[in-house]
Amino acid sequence: MIVAESEGTALDAVAVHDPETPVVPAGPERHSAPRSRRVTLVDLADAIGLHPSTVSRALDPRSTHLVSGATLERVRDAAATLGYRGNLVARSLRRRRTDTIGVVVADLRNTVVTSILNGLDLSLGAAGYLTMIGESGGSSSELEELLRHLVAGPVDAIVVTAATTSDGPLLRRIAEVVPLVVALRPVSRAGLPVVAQDDYAGGALVAEHFAGLRHELVAQLPGPASVGNFVRRRQGFSATCRALHVVEVPGLPLAAEPTAAEGARLTEAVLRGKHAPTAIFAHNDAMAMGALRVLRRRGLRCPEDMAIAGYNNASFVDLFDPPLTSVVVDVQAVSSCAGRLALQWLADGVPPVAPVLPPPVLIPRASTVS
């Protein structure tokens, strides 16, 4: 599924002229134009006594720095009064760009999507780009079909936030046609800019937290192996538990999907085991929510009988009962960085190098600390 998410400013063709050179109108400055047809850039320029090229610069986010603040405000006020809307088709043909970035998410129902779009808007929206959003459903085949549609359609670059561990070859093929940046979900050997947090270090933080609280037997609720983040969280947690001599419950199944229902199912499996742990690491906050529901249903107290930590630090975790200990993932910052990399690739013509993000941080709350 593809939906248009936001709209930027698009302009008609412009003439070459010195910036901010006034054009003397036939009469007093006027803020009206014939309303029987669509207001054009020439109408707008004529109404405020400026050359069309100056008005064009004032309305294009890429060139507003060439126009004084007073002129910029004057043009915007007049455009709002007259109801001016630029011609996207004319601008696209002129620049051979559509000013549209394709964005692929795994699940539009996930609350994380809001943070993804907010982050992209910080970088792409400020540069005058709009986004076209597609949902892959977490399926590699759906992702491939969606990417082929985006490549054939009107996008200048693509940001993928829904990659699985096996999607590297597909993403490389697509990037040969259109710039492509991977965000949030790491992909091995893709040879592309990947903006993602160090989930290995995040998993290690949780193990260190449990060890510091004197837990001797712990368990993970692991997310699907098709998502690189969950793989790395599991590896970091297990390796650190071994190093700190904390015993981990072996042989637990993986979640089919990272949901509260799967978190509840895996927690039931943990509690049916021969030895119940005193702390559980859920690979995301939704799965931790499912774990808390199971404890409540069984009459177990958190954290007195079982401590629980999650991952992502979603906006609602401090509303849990008890509030949830979680590792922070700044989705908005990651997405904004991915947007900047896409713009840099478009500007330079070569794949940019993704920056190293700050290390993850664990926020302890009452689900692990009495």
DSSP per-residue string spanning 170-221: HHHHHHTTS-EEEESS--TT--S-EE---HHHHHHHHHHHHHHTT--EEEEE
**pLDDT band for position 190 (50/70/90)?**
confident
User: At which of 92, 122, 152 does a domain end?
Assistant: 92
What's the whole-number mean pLDDT along residues 223-233? 96
Both 173 and 279 in a single domain? no
Eight-state DSSP code of residue 50: B
Token pair belonging to 300: 């177990």
**pLDDT band for position 154 (50/70/90)?**
confident
Determine the Cα–Cα distance for residues 303 and 323; give it in Å rounded to an integer: 10
Q: Is residue 366 part of a domain?
A: no
Q: Is residue 9 part of a domain?
A: yes
pLDDT of residue 20: 44
Determine the Cα–Cα distance for residues 108 and 104; give it in Å rounded to an integer: 10
**pLDDT-above-70 percentage for the chain:** 85
**pLDDT-above-90 percentage for the chain:** 65
Nearest CA to 180 out of 120, 100, 103 is that of: 103
Q: Is residue 368 part of a domain?
A: no
**pLDDT higher for 15 or 70?**
70
Q: Is residue 304 part of a domain?
A: yes
Which residues lie across from 50 on neighbouring strands? 22
Q: How many structural domains does the chain have? A: 3
Q: Which domain holds residue 27?
A: 2-92
Residues 111-146 as b or e (16 or more Cβ within 10 Å = b): ebbebbbebbbbbbbebbbbbbbbbbebebebbbeb
The per-type count for the chain, helices as H runs and strands as E runs, is 12, 12
**pLDDT higher for 32 or 193?**
193
Supply the mean pLDDT for the chain: 86
**pLDDT band for position 157 (50/70/90)?**
very high
What is the pTM for the complete model shown? 0.75
Q: Is residue 271 part of a domain?
A: yes
pLDDT of residue 279: 98
Both 53 and 138 in a single domain? no
**pLDDT higher for 80 or 121?**
121
Token pair belonging to 156: 């200048």
Both 272 and 337 in a single domain? no
Both 288 and 342 in a single domain? no
Write out pLDDT tens, residues 18-62. 444 444 444 444 444 444 567 888 888 899 999 888 888 887 765
Name residue 196's amino acid.
A
**pLDDT band for position 87 (50/70/90)?**
low
pLDDT of residue 35: 45
Give the length of the chain: 370
Both 44 and 116 in a single domain? no
Both 132 and 20 in a single domain? no
pLDDT at 15 over 80: no
**pLDDT higher for 279 or 27?**
279
Determine the Cα–Cα distance for residues 27 and 47; give it in Å rounded to an integer: 10
pLDDT at 297 over 80: yes
Determine the Cα–Cα distance for residues 198 and 284; give it in Å rounded to an integer: 15
User: At which of 37, 70, 92 does a domain end?
Assistant: 92
Highest mean pLDDT among 32-36, 57-61, 82-86, 291-295: 291-295
Both 139 and 121 in a single domain? yes
What's the whole-number mean pLDDT along residues 224-252? 96
Q: Is residue 361 part of a domain?
A: no
Helix extents (H) in the chain: 41-48, 52-59, 69-82, 88-95, 112-123, 140-152, 168-175, 199-212, 228-243, 260-271, 285-297, 331-348
What's the whole-number mean pLDDT along residues 348-358? 93
Q: Is residue 357 part of a domain?
A: no
User: At which of 44, 74, 92 does a domain end?
Assistant: 92
pLDDT of residue 227: 95
Q: Is residue 111 part of a domain?
A: yes
**pLDDT higher for 273 or 265?**
265
Q: What is the CATH number of the domain that holds 186?
A: 3.40.50.2300
